[in-house]
Structure 1
Amino acid sequence: MTALDERASTEELPPVGRRVNPEPPPVDRPVRASLPNDVAIGALRPVMPQRGVPRLLRRVIGVNEDVLDWVPEERPRYTRLGLIVLNTGLLAAVSMHMALVSVLGHHWWLLFADLMWAVIIVTADSWLISSTHGAARTSLFRTYLPRLVLSLLLGAVIAEPLVLAVFHQSIDNEISEQRKAEVDVYEGTLKRCNPPSGEVLADPSCAGFLVVISERPQAVVDELARATTNRDALKVKVGEADARLAELERLARDECAGRVGPGLTAVPGEGPECIRNRDKADEFHRDSRLDQLHADLVTADRTVSELTAKVADASSRTEREISSAITAKVDEKRANLTERGLLDEFEALGSLSSKHFTVLMAHLLLALLLIALDCLPVLSKMMSASTEYDARLRRQLDVSGRLHDLQLRASEKRDSVDFELQELRFRQKLRTGIEEIGGEDRTAKARRRMEVDAQIDRLAATLEAARTTSPSN
C-alpha cells in the first residue's frame, strides 16, 4: 500500500466520540427508539431521549444521556441525585444569606452573593458526583474518601450559620449578658485604678485604665501635709515654752507669797528671791519670743485651715472629673459593643454549650444533621451499589480509550509517511549536492592541470627558441 492509499484509509476513520448511525434494522423488527418509554423491558434499546426538567437535573451531575438511554431504569436514581445536589445548593444559599444578614443587615443585593455561593456549592457537588461516574467499586476508599472529606468541610461551613439561626434567641441573650458583664468588669477596673482622691496607682494591671483629668490634688495634699507637720512642731514648741513660763511664774508667785516648798525661802514679801524669780520669768518670756511663737502658731493654724479647704475643694473637683471620665469611658465601651458579628455569635454559642449539656447535645446533633444533609450527594453515591449505567459508562470509556489509541497509531502512520518521504528527499538532495560539488572539483582540477601544462609548454618553447638562436650568435 502506498503512502497516499494509507492516508486515505486513515482519513476515512470516524472521529473519536462521534456516534456512527447504525445500519437501519430490517423492516419487520421495531427499534426501541420508535416505541414509547413504558414498553416492557426486553424491547430493543436505546429508548427515546427524555426531555424536560429531569434531563436538566441529571445534566447537573454530569450524566451522559446517550449511555443512560440504554438503561432507562436508572433515570429516576440519577434524577433524584441531581435534585439532592440542587437542594444542597439551596441550603448553602440560605446559610450564606443568614450569615451575611447577621454581619451586614438586610439588603436586597445580598441575593446576588447568595446565588453566587449556591452556584459554587452546586458546582463543587456536581464535580464530586460526576467524577465518580463509572468508578469501580473496588476503589471505594480511594475514590470516595477524599470527596467525602471535602463534603464534610463544605458541610461544616454551610451548617454553622443555620445552627446559629436556630439558637438565635438564646445567642442574643447570652451576648447581652456577656457584654453587660464585660462592661461591669471594665467599669470596676476603672474605679479601682482611678480612686476619687486622684492618686496615681503603681499597679501594673492598671496600665491602660488611667483616665485623664485637668489637675490632680497631690501637690496641694503634699503642701497641707508639710504645713500640718510645721504647725504640729510649732504647737509642741509653744506648749513647752508656755509650760516653762507658767512654772517660772508660779515659782515667783509662791516665793513672793512666802509659801513653803522646794526652792522657796518661805519669806513673804518682795524680797530678793521674789524679785529674782520674777526677773527670771520675764527674761524667759522675752528670750523665748513667746508672743511671736503664739502669732506664728495662729498663722500656721490659719494656713492649715486654708490648705484643708483647698484640698477638700480640689478633691471634690477631682472626684467629679474622675467620675465623669469613667462614665465617658464606660459609655464608649458600651457603644463599641452594640454591633456584633459571626465570631460573637460563635463565642456565645460555645459559651452556652459549655454551660448547659442540653444545649451542647442539641448543637452537636443539629450540626451533624445539617452536615449530613450537605454530604448527602456524595453519601448517596457512595452508599448505592454500582449501577448498570456505571458499568456501561466504564466500558464506553475503555472503548473510547482503545479507539483513541488506534486513531493515534493511524495518525502516527499517516504522518510518519510524509516525514519519511521528506527525509528521503533530503537525503537524495544531499547526495546530488555532494556529486555536483565533486564534479565541479574535478573540473576545476582538470582546468588547473591544463593551465599548468600550457604554461609549461610555453616555457619549454621559449627555452627551445633560446637554444636555437644561441649558436648563430
Structure 2
Amino acid sequence: MSTDLAEPPAAAGLDGAPSARSSLPNDAPVGLYRPVTTDRGAGRWLRSVVGVKEDILDWVPEERPRYTRLGAIVLNTGLMAGLSLVVALSSVTNGAWWALLPVGLLWAYMILTFDGWLISSTHGVQRTSKLALFLPRIVISLLLGAAIAEPLVLWVFQPSVHNEIDEYRKSAVEDYESKLRSCNPAFGAVSADPSCRGFQLTIKDSPGAIETRLASETSLLDRTTEQVAAMDRHYAQLDRVARAECTGATGPGLTGVPGVGGECRRNREKADQYRLDVRLDQRHAELNALEASVVDLTAKLAQARQVAGRQVSDAIAAKVREKRENLADVGLLDEIHALERLTDTSTVIAVAGWVLRLLLIAIDCLPVLSKMMGGTTCYDTLVTRQLESAKRLHSKHVHLYERQDSVNLDILAQRAERKLRNKTDAMDTEERVERAVRRKQRAEQIDRLAAELEGRDRHTVGAHS
C-alpha cells in the first residue's frame, strides 16, 4: 500500500532525539517508531541503483545496510566493466587512456543499469523456484563477466604478454625472410617447390632468358661437337689410307706400290670428296662460333646473376621491412594469442590466468549471487504485500470506474428509450388526429353531397308537379 502520507512524529527521548525501538515501551503505538525517518545520505543513491523503494524500506531500516552494500557491489561491477573497456580500447587504438574515459563511463553506466535491472527484477516474494528465477540471470552475468574479465586478465599479464608478442613477431619475421631466401635464390632462378607459392618474387632483370639461351646453345654445342668429332675421325681414317697407299705401305686394301698411282689418287680424292661433302671446314667454323657464343653467354649470365642477386636481395629486404611494419601494432587478438602461447608453455601462468579470470567473472556475477544467497528478506515480503495491495486497489478502482461508466451508460440508454417512447406517442397522437380530421372531412363531404342530392330530388319532383 502507498506510504506517501505524512510521516507520524517520532517519539522523543530525554535528550530530544528520536527514541530507538528498544527504548520504547512494549505498548507504544507503531507510529512512534515505524516508519523511521527517510535516509537522505549516499546510501539512498546506492540503494536506488538496485531499485529499492525507500518508503517501503523505512518500515524495515535494519535492511538498509544489506541493500546499500548490494548497490555498492553493482556499482563496483559497473566500474570494473568501464575499466575493462578502457583497457581493451587502449590496446586496440594505441591512444591516450584518458581520451577513452567517456566511452568507459558510458559502458560502466550500461552495465550498472543492466545489473541493477537484474537485481530489481527479483524483489519480492517469488512464486517460482530459485533455479528458474536466477539461472537465466546467472547465465547472462557469466557472459558479461567473461567479456569483462578477459581485458583485465591481459592487463595484469601485460609485460609478459608484450614480451611474448615481440619474440613471436621477431621469429615470424626471421622465418618469413628465410622462406623468401629459400624460394628466391640469389642468382634469380625461380623455385618450383609447391611450398613456395606466394613467396616468389618478380624482379626486373631476371637472368632466365639468358639461362634458357645458354642451355640451348650448350646443348647445340654438345651435339655439334659430337658430330664434328665423328666427321674428323672418319676423315682422318680416309686420310691415313690415302697417305699409306701413296707411301707404299702394306696392309689390308693397300697395293704396297709407292708413288702417286691410280689407287693413291683415288683414295686421296675419296678423302677430299668426303671433306667437301660434309663441309668439314664449315662445321669447324660453326663449332668455333658456338664455343665463342657459349663463352659470351656464360659471362653475360654471370653478370645478370650478379645484378639479379642484388635485386633479389633488395626485394627480400623490402618484403621483410613491410612485414615488420605490418606487425608493428599490437591488438587485442594479438594479446589473447600471446597469452594462449604463454599458458601452453607454463602451467603456472595457465593456473594463475584461470584463477584471475574466474575471480573477475565471480565478481561480475556477485550481484545476482548475493541476491540469490541472501534469500527472501523482510523487504521482499513488504514489496509483495504492497504489490498485492496495489493489485487489489487497482481491481477495485477498475470495478468502480466500470460501475460508474455502466451507470452512466444505463442512464443514457434509459433516456434514449424514454425519448423514443415520447416521440412514438407524439407520432401516434398526431396520426390519430390526422385520422379524425380525415373522418370529419369525409363526413362533411358526405353530408354536403347528400344535401345536394336531396335538393336536386326536390327540384325534380316540383318540376313534375
TM-score, structure 2 length as denominator?
0.85
The superposition leaves residues 263-295 of structure 1 with CA deviations (integer Å, 9 ceiling, x where unpaired) of 222223333333333333333333332221211
Partner of residue 36, structure 1: 18
What aligned pairs does 1:231-242 form with structure 2 within 5 A after superposition?
A: 231-242=221-232
User: CA–CA distance in 1 between the matches of 2:315 and 2:145?
Assistant: 49
Displacement after TM superposition at 1:95 (Å) = 1.4
Partner of residue 5, structure 1: none
Match status 1:83 vs 2:72: yes
The superposition leaves residues 312-349 of structure 1 with CA deviations (integer Å, 9 ceiling, x where unpaired) of 33333333323322322222122111112112211222
8 A contact 1:97–1:111 mirrored in 2: yes
The superposition leaves residues 222-278 of structure 1 with CA deviations (integer Å, 9 ceiling, x where unpaired) of 222222222222222221222222222222222233222222222233333333333
8 A contact 1:128–1:378 mirrored in 2: yes
What aligned pairs does 1:219-230 form with structure 2 within 5 A after superposition?
A: 219-230=209-220
User: CA–CA distance in 2 between the matches of 1:291 and 1:450?
Assistant: 164
8 A contact 1:37–1:48 mirrored in 2: no
User: CA–CA distance in 2 between the matches of 1:462 and 1:152?
Assistant: 117
Question: Residues 463, 197 of structure 1: CA spacing in aligned structure 2 closer, same or farther, 3 A cutoff?
Answer: farther
Displacement after TM superposition at 1:367 (Å) = 0.7
Displacement after TM superposition at 1:171 (Å) = 1.2
8 A contact 1:224–1:307 mirrored in 2: yes
User: CA–CA distance in 2 between the matches of 1:430 and 1:463?
Assistant: 49
The superposition leaves residues 103-154 of structure 1 with CA deviations (integer Å, 9 ceiling, x where unpaired) of 1221433111111111112112222222222234863222222222222222
User: CA–CA distance in 1 between the matches of 2:116 and 2:54?
Assistant: 16
Question: Residues 232, 452 of structure 1: CA spacing in aligned structure 2 closer, same or farther, 3 A cutoff?
Answer: farther
Partner of residue 45, structure 1: 33
Letter in 2 for 1:102: S
User: CA–CA distance in 1 between the matches of 2:361 and 2:269?
Assistant: 112
User: CA–CA distance in 2 between the matches of 1:146 and 1:305?
Assistant: 85
What aligned pairs does 1:22-421 form with structure 2 within 5 A after superposition?
A: 35-36=17-18, 38=20, 40=22, 44-46=32-34, 47-104=36-93, 105-136=95-126, 139-196=129-186, 198-200=188-190, 205-421=195-411
8 A contact 2:246–2:261 mirrored in 1: yes
Partner secondary structure for residue 51 of structure 2:
coil
User: CA–CA distance in 2 between the matches of 1:306 and 1:468?
Assistant: 171
Deviates more, 1:147-156 or 1:436-445: 436-445
Deviates more, 1:298-307 or 1:160-169: 298-307
The superposition leaves residues 177-229 of structure 1 with CA deviations (integer Å, 9 ceiling, x where unpaired) of 33233334433443444444545556665444332322543333222222222
Partner secondary structure for residue 109 of structure 1:
helix
Question: Residues 145, 411 of structure 1: CA spacing in aligned structure 2 closer, same or farther, 3 A cutoff?
Answer: same
How many residue pairs end up in the alignment? 454
User: CA–CA distance in 2 between the matches of 1:143 and 1:165?
Assistant: 34
8 A contact 2:2–2:386 mirrored in 1: no
User: CA–CA distance in 1 between the matches of 2:158 and 2:389?
Assistant: 56
User: CA–CA distance in 2 between the matches of 1:207 and 1:464?
Assistant: 140
The superposition leaves residues 2-37 of structure 1 with CA deviations (integer Å, 9 ceiling, x where unpaired) of xxxxxxxxxxxxxx7363448889xxx769xx8536
Displacement after TM superposition at 1:60 (Å) = 2.1
User: CA–CA distance in 1 between the matches of 2:444 and 2:252?
Assistant: 179
The superposition leaves residues 150-181 of structure 1 with CA deviations (integer Å, 9 ceiling, x where unpaired) of 22222112111110111111211222233233
Q: Unaligned stretches of 5+ in structure 1?
A: 1-15
User: CA–CA distance in 2 between the matches of 1:459 and 1:188?
Assistant: 142
User: CA–CA distance in 2 between the matches of 1:193 and 1:444?
Assistant: 123
TM-score, structure 1 length as denominator?
0.84
User: CA–CA distance in 1 between the matches of 2:301 and 2:459?
Assistant: 157
Letter in 2 for 1:56: W
Q: Percent identity?
A: 49
User: CA–CA distance in 1 between the matches of 2:100 and 2:229?
Assistant: 88
8 A contact 2:180–2:199 mirrored in 1: yes
Partner of residue 12, structure 1: none
Letter in 1 for 2:91: S
Compute the RMSD of aligned alpha carbons: 3.4
User: CA–CA distance in 1 between the matches of 2:147 and 2:74?
Assistant: 16
Displacement after TM superposition at 1:468 (Å) = 9.5
User: CA–CA distance in 1 between the matches of 2:420 and 2:199?
Assistant: 95
Question: Residues 22, 265 of structure 1: CA spacing in aligned structure 2 closer, same or farther, 3 A cutoff?
Answer: closer
Displacement after TM superposition at 1:370 (Å) = 0.8
User: CA–CA distance in 2 between the matches of 1:459 and 1:314?
Assistant: 149
User: CA–CA distance in 2 between the matches of 1:119 and 1:337?
Assistant: 35
Letter in 2 for 1:124: F
Displacement after TM superposition at 1:396 (Å) = 2.4
Letter in 1 for 2:2: G
Displacement after TM superposition at 1:366 (Å) = 0.6
User: CA–CA distance in 2 between the matches of 1:456 and 1:249?
Assistant: 179
